[in-house]
Amino acid sequence: MSQTATRPDDLMGLSEDEYDTILDIMGRAPNFTELSIFSVMWSEHCSYKSSKFWLKTLPTEGPQVIQGPGENAGVIDIGDGLAAIFKIESHNHPSFIEPYQGAATGVGGILRDVFTMGARPVANMNALRFGSPDHPKTRHLVDGVVAGIGGYGNCIGVPTVGGEVNFDPAYNGNILVNAMTVGIANTDKIFYSAAAGTGLPVVYVGSKTGRDGIHGATMASAEFDDDSAEKRPTVQVGDPFTEKLLLEACLELMATDAIVAIQDMGAAGLTSSSVEMASKGEVGITLTLDDVPMRETGMQPFELMLSESQERMLMVLKPGREDEARAIFEKWELDFAVIGETNDSERLVLMWEGEVAADIPVPPLVAAAPEYERPWTATPPREVVSPDAVPAPMDPGAALLTLIESPDLCSRRWIWEQYDHMVMGDTVGRPGGDAALVRVHGTGKALAISTDCTPRYVEANPVEGGKQAVAEAWRNVTATGATPLAVTNNLNFGNPERPEIMGQLVGAVQGMGAACTALDSPVVSGNVSLYNETNGAAILPTPVIGCVGLLDDVTTRASAAFGDDGEAVFVVGETTGWLGCSIYQRDMAGGSAGAPPPVDLDLERRNGDFVRAGILSGRISACHDVSDGGLAVALAEMAIAGHTGAEIDHDPAIPVHAWLFGEDQARYVVTTGDPDGLEAAAKAAGVPVNRIGRVGGAALTLPGAGPISVASLREAHERWLPEYMASR
Amino acid sequence: MSAAVIVFPGSNCDRDVAVSLEAAMGRAPYMVWHGDSELPDVDLIVVPGGFSYGDYLRSGAMAANSPVMREVVARANAGTPTLGICNGFQVLTECGLLPGVLMRNASLKFVCRDVDLRVERADTVFTRHYREGQVIRIPVAHHDGNYFTDPDTLKALEDNRQVAFRYCAPDGSLSEDSNPNGSLANIAGVLNAGGNVLGMMPHPERLAEALLGGTDGAPMFASLAEAVAA
The pLDDT value given to residue A13: 87
ipTM confidence:
0.97
Q: Report the alpha-carbon distance of residue A270 to residue A24 in Å, rounded.
A: 24
Would residue B120 show up in a list of annotated catalytic residues for this protein?
no
The pLDDT value given to residue A229: 62
The pLDDT value given to residue A532: 96
Contacts of A430 in chain B (CB under 8 A): 213
Residue A451 Cα to chain centre, angstroms: 7
Return the sign of the alpha-carbon dihedral for residues A243, A247, A249, A253. Answer: positive
Q: Across the interface, which of A242, A422, A554 has its CB nearest the CB of B206?
A: A422
Contact B21, B5 (CB under 8 A): yes
Q: Is the pLDDT of residue A728 over 80?
A: no
Give burial (CB, 10 Å; 0-12/13-18/19+) of A726. exposed
Q: Is the pLDDT of residue B38 over 90?
A: no
User: For residue B57, how many other CB atoms are within 10 A of its CB?
Assistant: 11
Mean pLDDT, residues A404-408 taken together = 98
Q: Report the alpha-carbon distance of residue A539 to residue A558 in Å, rounded.
A: 35
Q: Is the pLDDT of residue A688 over 70?
A: yes
Contacts of B35 in chain A (CB under 8 A): 331
The pLDDT value given to residue A2: 43
Query: What range does the domain containing B39 cover?
Result: 3-229
Q: What angle do CA A265, A266, A269 make, to 5 degrees?
A: 60
Q: Quick one: CA torsion of A685, A690, A693, A694, rounded to 10 degrees?
A: -10
Test A241 with B19 for CB contact under 8 angstroms: no
pLDDT tens digits for range A647-658: 999 999 999 999
Which residue is catalytic, options B86, B142, B143, B168? B86
Test A156 with B12 for CB contact under 8 angstroms: yes
User: Which residues is A437 bridged to in the sheet?
Assistant: A429, A448
The confidence band for A219, taking pLDDT boundaries of 50, 70 and 90, is: low
pLDDT tens digits for range A49-106: 999 999 999 999 999 999 999 999 999 999 999 999 999 999 999 999 999 999 999 9
The CATH code of the domain that includes B9 is 3.40.50.880
Contact A387, A395 (CB under 8 A): no
For the packed helices A462-478 and A499-518, what is the interaxial angle rounded to 10 degrees? 40
Would residue A657 show up in a list of annotated catalytic residues for this protein?
no
Contacts of B213 in chain A (CB under 8 A): 428, 430
The pLDDT value given to residue A212: 82
Contact B44, B11 (CB under 8 A): no
pLDDT tens digits for range A498-511: 999 999 999 999 99
CA Rg value for chain A: 26
Residues 6+ positions from B137 with CB-CB distance below 8 Å: B114, B115, B116, B117, B207, B214, B216
Best of A243, A423, A427 to disrupt the B interface (most B CBs within 10 Å) is A423
Buried b / exposed e along A119-147 (16+ C-beta atoms within 10 A): bbbbbbbbbbbbbebebebbbebbebbbb
Which residue is catalytic, options A45, A93, A215, A717? A45
Contacts of B55 in chain A (CB under 8 A): 155, 241
Q: Is the pLDDT of residue A1 over 60?
A: no
Residues in chain B whose Cβ is within 8 Å of chain A: 9-10, 12-13, 15-16, 19, 35, 49-51, 53-56, 109-113, 139, 141, 143, 203, 205-206, 209, 211-213
Residues 314-353 of A with CB under 8 A from B: 331-333
| pTM > 0.80 | yes
Contacts of B12 in chain A (CB under 8 A): 155-157, 244, 423
pLDDT averaged over chain A? 95
Count how many Cα atoms sit within 13 Å of the Cα of residue B205 in the half-sphere of its side chain.
30
Contact A58, A68 (CB under 8 A): no
Q: Which residue has the higher pLDDT, A268 or B114?
A: B114
A626 vs B: CB within 8 A = no
Give burial (CB, 10 Å; 0-12/13-18/19+) of A672. buried
How many distinct structural domains can be found in chain B? 1
The pLDDT value given to residue A414: 97
Could you tell me how many CB contacts below 8 A there are between chain A and chain B? 84
A120 vs B: CB within 8 A = no
Contact A526, A488 (CB under 8 A): yes
Select from A613, A607, A578 the least CA-distant residue to A594. A578
A207 vs B: CB within 8 A = no
Contacts of B9 in chain A (CB under 8 A): 241, 244-245, 332-333
Residue A275 Cα to chain centre, angstroms: 25
Would residue B205 show up in a list of annotated catalytic residues for this protein?
yes
Q: Across the interface, which of B15, B109, B212 has its CB nearest the CB of A418?
A: B109
The confidence band for A45, taking pLDDT boundaries of 50, 70 and 90, is: confident
The confidence band for A231, taking pLDDT boundaries of 50, 70 and 90, is: low
Test B9 with A332 for CB contact under 8 angstroms: yes
- What is the 8-class DSSP label of residue A29? -
Select from A654, A652, A650, A656 the least CA-distant residue to A694. A650
Residues 637-656 of A with CB under 8 A from B: none
pLDDT tens digits for range A180-204: 999 999 999 999 999 999 999 999 9
A80 vs B: CB within 8 A = no
pLDDT tens digits for range A108-123: 999 999 999 999 999 9
User: For residue A375, how many other CB atoms are within 10 A of its CB?
Assistant: 11
The pLDDT value given to residue A228: 67
